[in-house]
Amino acid sequence: MIQSDYDPEIVAEHTAELAEKGLTFMGVDVFDPANFWMLLLRFTFNLFICWVIIQFFYYRKSRRKDYYFTFMLFSVTIFLLLFLLQSIPMQIGFALGLFAIFGMIRYRTETVQIREMTYLFVIIGISVVNGLAMEVPIVSVVVANFLFILITWILESNQFLKHTSTKIVLYEKISLIKPEKYEEMIGDLKERTGLNITKVEVGHIDFLRDVAFLKVYYKGDSDEINTIDNVTRFS
């Protein structure tokens, strides 16, 4: 009679140990269920928060699809970069410097306006928080994200901050830029532009061509932002 060395308890113990370690390839885990689901949940949550801010606050006024594209990809890239590198020891200065470099970028094609730079900083900040805050309680992370949405809504709402549109006008009636003819100049601008003008500032004056640059403040019919209003002079 052949005696078998098979011991069910030993086999069960080794099986449980292998299952706990998981499948590895060259010393790297092939699949970690806990990390995988954490990645999907945090990625979806981060993408949702950034989408809400971009869609309902930024895009509602600017209608700039190019920045919509940029902000969303910045969010995805920064989150995945920090989430996947969180196991690598790094100083907090590196994490802050990582998105500060991107936040200070000035694109060569055009000057990035302050509003766009602010939203870029907010989107990167949200992605950094969601990508690195692994030891922070989930409730705190969720509250922090919704605070981003709340503060952005408050600042973008006309009920708290009255929005006043501006427009740069090259004005040829230079005789009306005198302080004593201020009301007459506003009346002329209202008639010619059809805008509900509330204030006018006189800028660069060219006496050779008898023209002046005026910054006109007016109440618009909508909250949409016209980026071409930032043009101040001809090339």
Confidence category of residue 73, pLDDT binned at 50, 70, 90: very high
- 0.75 exceeded by the pTM? no
pLDDT digits 0-9 by tens, 7-38:
566 655 555 554 555 566 565 666 677 888 88
Q: Which of 133, 156, 179 is the last residue of a domain?
A: 156
Query: In sequence order, what are the residues at sequence separation of 6 or more whose Cβ sits closer than 8 angstroms to the Cβ of residue 31?
Result: 22, 23
92 in the same domain as 152: yes
Residue 17 in domain: no
The mean per-residue pLDDT over the stretch 51-56 comes to: 94
Residue 37 in domain: yes
pLDDT digits 0-9 by tens, 132-150:
888 888 899 999 999 999 9
pLDDT digits 0-9 by tens, 87-134:
565 555 565 565 555 555 555 455 677 888 889 889 988 998 898 888
**Mean pLDDT value across the chain:** 79
43 in the same domain as 150: yes
Residue 103 in domain: yes
103 in the same domain as 53: yes
Q: Which of 107, 126, 156 is the last residue of a domain?
A: 156
187 in the same domain as 143: no
Number of domains in the chain: 2
DSSP labels for 15-47? HHHHHHH--EETTEES--HHHHHHHHHHHHHHH
141: its two tokens = 């992370």
Residue 210 in domain: yes
Predicted local distance difference test score (pLDDT) of residue 47: 95
